[in-house]
């Protein structure tokens, strides 16, 4: 009786408490409920269900648990994301666990996969003949740490560049410190040694799953090639070419390796395959190896190249430079960065969380001398002037460019101060490689209000610049851009400029390729001092002049000659059919705080003219990095036949590869890509390389194969041959 009475009292009390808790639950906080649960006693008695479905008190189950939780939109999103991630992970596991599944799935969606060129050519009877040397380009070769600061403890011989890039995320400032070179010497900072990775693994993959040379190496192996007949000529791509020899003896080691490959492969000459900047590096090597020791060369004498080299098959070679190299050095951006800044203004520049991403990029890359090797060469003769350019009239709509419609009289059709092209729209004026404001692109040169009167930078002395701009000393208004204010961990040469100097650059309105170099000499004098010591950007008047024996001219095909090797062949292989950066519309940064970069691409500038203007960038035909003119002009004209640039009449061949993107994700990066790096997996290009390595000549391949407007554009370039 006593137990029943107590139970009844408990039920009455529980009912009251339950009502009270319901009221409290509707208006109270989760913190109060949690507090009640911790207190115990009647407040901790919970409601449940017995076997008959009636309410009962069950300790440990909260009162509010009987209320159905609300399903929020956020819950749905999280559930969907989690579901997709799990299913994708399971698919990848299954896809890679069953050996035949990847091929089965891919073939089910895309049809039968094309046979690898190496497999097919091996069946045709092609075998190893000429040893092969790969020369990687900028950024694609791995770099590893040999000595560093305390922050890099435990990273001895670990990759700082290439691979997983794990250290970028773990210790970014330490990583930047070790990737930076000395701003005066262009060599290692004190206490730091970063060196190129050696062997085929140096550049077979740039990152896990992202091939560079791996597909080509795989196909060569199917003909019987192995490391005794293949070599990766890795080098520290940050350095000037001559400094790779003075610091690492990279050129000497390449010379010895080529000699060894020839002697151990039945005295067969070597086929050299440079990619991207590697094409410029090997041009430098061919001059260096035969130049006298007194001039900084190897002293092997004339005839070494003819004795050891069968063919040089340049893939995507930027022989005349790339405009995007200027954009990278001037504002640390290109088309993609410009779009990102427009979508999320201030994020990349902001000091929030200590990012300052673009400033850090600029601070480091301006110490890499090799980046300056790819600035445009040849001046207005090659890239055009204020009024004309070889590619004027290019149509990026996918139709055949109507270059034949552009005539001299049409370029003089001026309406409202703007020159109109053949389609009645303002001219693109590609020769104006940098324009401040969209109007400066479209106006006739006579209508431009240009004020090129650069003031001397704060803290720097005057220097001699190009004739198309007059620079005079004016130190009355030397207001530092960032006076008495710290920019944190990042520093660029912009921080030493006056605001008057920054404005003077914008007042110049438009700059041609030569003018761009002048601008860089003004805004980054220390960087360009190193550049002018290591590189040359003009066209030689007289190649017999002794001054062209200096090593700074060796990588410029317009200021040097090909070697005396009449039996050698030289190829220009590159992709076409992809919009490639050609010129830029700039504006001043809106923020007066020059911890920011004071210049940026004007992403709001869009097309209403001839040509293709998108997001402040004018595009032409190319491989997405190198315009057609830079990759193909030398083989199409200056090296074609016996000229002053090709005195021994070396056979040259231009072979273009029309870009075809992959049909779906399962095709990866495709087998018909013309993109600057992805072309290394282009089956047609690989077949050309394999056939030449197996003994074929350029004529055996069918000679030139040109699908772009390169012949028309080359005719417009009036170059003394």
User: Cα angle vertex 117, ends 111, 120, to 5°?
Assistant: 90
Residue whose token pair is 């890099």: 152
CA 685 to CA 654: how far, in whole Å? 12
Q: Is 589 exposed, middle or buried (0-12, 13-18, 19+ CB in 10 A)?
A: middle
Q: Which helix (H) or strand (E) holds 214?
A: helix 214-221
CB 628 within 8 A of CB 698: no
Q: Is 340 exposed, middle or buried (0-12, 13-18, 19+ CB in 10 A)?
A: middle
Residue whose token pair is 């220009």: 572
Catalytic residues: 276, 623, 676
CA 337 to CA 218: how far, in whole Å? 34
CA 708 to CA 655: how far, in whole Å? 10
> Helices 73-97 and 101-110, interaxial angle, to 10°?
110
Going by C-alpha positions, the residue among 198, 177, 173 that lies closest to residue 188 is: 177
DSSP-derived 3-state class of residue 61: coil
Q: Tell how strand 55-57 and strand 309-315 pair up.
A: unpaired
Please, what sign has the CA dihedral across residues 657, 659, 664, 666? positive
CB 365 within 8 A of CB 674: no
CA 158 to CA 138: how far, in whole Å? 19
Could you please report the per-residue DSSP string of 463-501? ----TTSEE----TT--BTTTT---TT---GGGGSBHHH
CA 151 to CA 178: how far, in whole Å? 10
The number of beta carbons lying within 10 Å of the beta carbon of residue 183 is 16
Report the DSSP beta bridge partners of residue 585: 435
Report how far apart, in Å, the C-alpha atoms of 416 and of each of 208, 421, 425, 611 are: 55, 14, 12, 19
User: Cα angle vertex 680, ends 710, 306, to 5°?
Assistant: 75
Report the DSSP beta bridge partners of residue 207: 210
């Amino acid at each position: 009786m006593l137990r029943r009475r107590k139970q009844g009292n408990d039920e009455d009390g529980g009912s009251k408490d339950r009502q009270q808790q319901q009221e409290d639950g509707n208006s109270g906080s989760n913190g109060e409920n949690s507090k009640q649960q911790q207190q115990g006693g009647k407040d901790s008695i919970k409601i449940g269900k017995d076997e008959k479905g009636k309410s009962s008190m069950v300790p440990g189950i909260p009162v509010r648990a009987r209320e159905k939780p609300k399903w929020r939109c956020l819950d749905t999103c999280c559930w969907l994301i989690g579901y997709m991630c799990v299913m994708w992970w399971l698919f990848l596991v299954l896809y890679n666990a069953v050996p035949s599944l990847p091929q089965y799935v891919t073939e089910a969606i895309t049809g039968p996969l094309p046979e690898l060129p190496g497999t097919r050519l091996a069946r045709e009877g092609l075998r190893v003949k000429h040893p092969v040397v790969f020369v990687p380009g900028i950024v694609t070769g791995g770099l590893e740490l040999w000595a560093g600061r305390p922050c890099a403890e435990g990273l001895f011989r670990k990759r700082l560049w290439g691979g997983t890039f794990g250290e970028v995320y773990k210790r970014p400032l330490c990583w930047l410190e070790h990737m930076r070179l000395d701003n005066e010497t262009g060599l290692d900072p004190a206490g730091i040694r970063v060196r190129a990775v050696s062997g085929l693994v140096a550049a077979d993959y740039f990152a896990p799953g992202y091939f560079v040379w791996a597909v080509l190496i795989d196909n060569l192996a199917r003909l019987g090639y192995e490391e005794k007949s293949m070599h990766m000529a890795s080098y520290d791509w940050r350095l000037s070419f001559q400094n790779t020899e003075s610091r690492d003896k990279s050129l000497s080691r390449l010379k010895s390796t080529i000699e060894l490959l020839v002697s151990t492969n039945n005295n067969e000459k070597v086929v050299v395959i440079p990619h991207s900047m590697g094409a410029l590096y090997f041009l430098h090597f061919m001059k260096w190896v035969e130049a006298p020791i007194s001039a900084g060369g190897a002293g092997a004498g004339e005839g070494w190249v003819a004795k050891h080299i069968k063919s040089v098959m340049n893939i995507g070679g930027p022989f005349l430079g790339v405009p995007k190299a200027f954009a990278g050095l001037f504002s640390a951006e290109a088309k993609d960065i410009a779009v990102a800044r427009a979508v999320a203004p201030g994020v990349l520049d902001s000091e929030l969380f200590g990012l300052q991403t673009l400033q850090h990029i600029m601070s480091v890359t301006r110490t890499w001398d090799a980046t300056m090797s790819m600035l445009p060469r040849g001046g207005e003769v090659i890239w055009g002037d204020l009024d004309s350019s070889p590619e004027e009239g290019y149509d990026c709509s996918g139709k055949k460019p109507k270059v034949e419609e552009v005539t001299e009289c049409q370029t003089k059709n001026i309406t409202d101060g703007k020159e109109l092209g053949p389609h009645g729209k303002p001219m693109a004026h590609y020769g104006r490689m940098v324009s401040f404001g969209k109007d400066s692109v479209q106006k006739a040169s006579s209508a431009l209000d240009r004020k090129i009167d650069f003031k001397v930078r704060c803290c720097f002395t005057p220097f001699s610049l190009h004739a198309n701009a007059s620079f005079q000393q004016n130190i009355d208004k030397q207001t530092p851009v960032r006076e008495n204010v710290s920019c944190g961990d990042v520093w660029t040469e912009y921080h030493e400029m006056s605001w008057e100097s920054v404005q003077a650059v914008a007042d110049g309105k438009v700059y041609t390729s030569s003018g761009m170099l002048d601008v860089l000499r003004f805004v980054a004098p220390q960087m360009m001092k190193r550049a002018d010591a290591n590189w040359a950007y003009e066209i030689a008047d007289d190649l017999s002049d002794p001054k062209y024996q200096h090593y700074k001219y060796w990588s410029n095909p317009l200021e040097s000659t090909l070697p005396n090797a009449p039996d050698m062949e030289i190829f220009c292989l590159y992709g076409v059919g992809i919009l490639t950066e050609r010129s830029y519309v700039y504006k001043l940064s809106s923020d007066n705080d020059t911890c920011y970069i004071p210049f940026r691409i004007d992403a709001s500038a869009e097309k209403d003219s001839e040509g293709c203007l998108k997001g402040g960038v004018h595009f032409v035909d190319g491989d997405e990095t190198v315009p057609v003119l830079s990759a193909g002009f030398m083989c199409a004209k200056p090296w074609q036949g016996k000229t002053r640039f090709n005195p021994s009449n070396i056979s040259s061949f231009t072979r273009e590869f029309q870009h075809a993107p992959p049909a779906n994700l399962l095709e990866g990066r495709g087998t018909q890509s013309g993109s600057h790096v992805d072309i290394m997996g282009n089956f047609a290009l690989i077949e050309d390389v394999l056939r030449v390595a197996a003994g074929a000549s350029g004529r055996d391949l069918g000679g030139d194969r040109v699908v772009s407007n390169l012949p028309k554009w080359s005719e417009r370039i009036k170059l003394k041959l």
